[in-house]
Structure 1
Amino acid sequence: MAESEFKHAPSVSFDEIDYRNEVDLKKAQESMLKEQFVKIEVVKIVRKALENCFKVNGPNGYEDCREIADKYMALLPESRAQGYLGYQRNDPTK
């Protein structure tokens, strides 16, 4: 299957749904969880690349791997899985 043929799951937001419709609520919850898991996997990949860079460069790793380390540090604050309940309960539109 070519990359252009890959279909992404539709993104559903809590802002667009009626909380009384259980099907839409479940889709929004799953969409939010999928987004969080993708962010976590991206951080894992960058961390693995940083580890490999340090292994390859040895003592010069601090200088040679700086760009990867900066990217990793930038991704850390937003990589935590928080679930959907906090957002769902405090949704400002409802």
Structure 2
Amino acid sequence: RTAKMEAREEHIRESWIKAMEARLVRDELEKCHRSEGVNHYENCKWLVDKYLVMLKENKVCL
């Protein structure tokens, strides 16, 4: 393998890890919304903020 291919594979691997982390946060956000009911806007805000940052920063690039 060439160094360029290995670097590309490493980038793809890191990208997928970040995407899966965002997915886990999204799943936790869904649980929070269900469990908090009408108070979810207030009690889940920190998860929403974290998820939005992750969406902006962790795009999957192939």
User: What is the TM-score normalised by the length of structure 2?
Assistant: 0.91
Equivalent residue number for residue 53 of structure 2: 74
Bigger relative contact order, structure 1 or 2 (CA pairs below 8 A, ≥6 apart): 2
Q: Is 1:52 aligned to residue 31 of structure 2?
A: yes
Q: Kindly report which structure 2 residues correspond to 1:13-92, keeping only aligned pairs within 5 A, or say none.
A: 22-83=1-62
CA RMSD of aligned residues (A): 1.0
Question: How many pairs are equivalent?
Answer: 62
2: distance between equivalents of 1:40 and 1:61? 24
List alignment gaps of at least 5 residues for structure 1: 1-21, 84-94
SS at match of 2:16: helix
User: What is the TM-score normalised by the length of structure 1?
Assistant: 0.62
Alignment deviations for residues 22-75 of structure 1 (CA, whole Å, 9 cap, x no partner): 521221111000010011001100000000000000010010001111101111
2: distance between equivalents of 1:65 and 1:37? 25
List alignment gaps of at least 5 residues for structure 2: none
Question: Percent of aligned pairs with the same residue?
Answer: 31
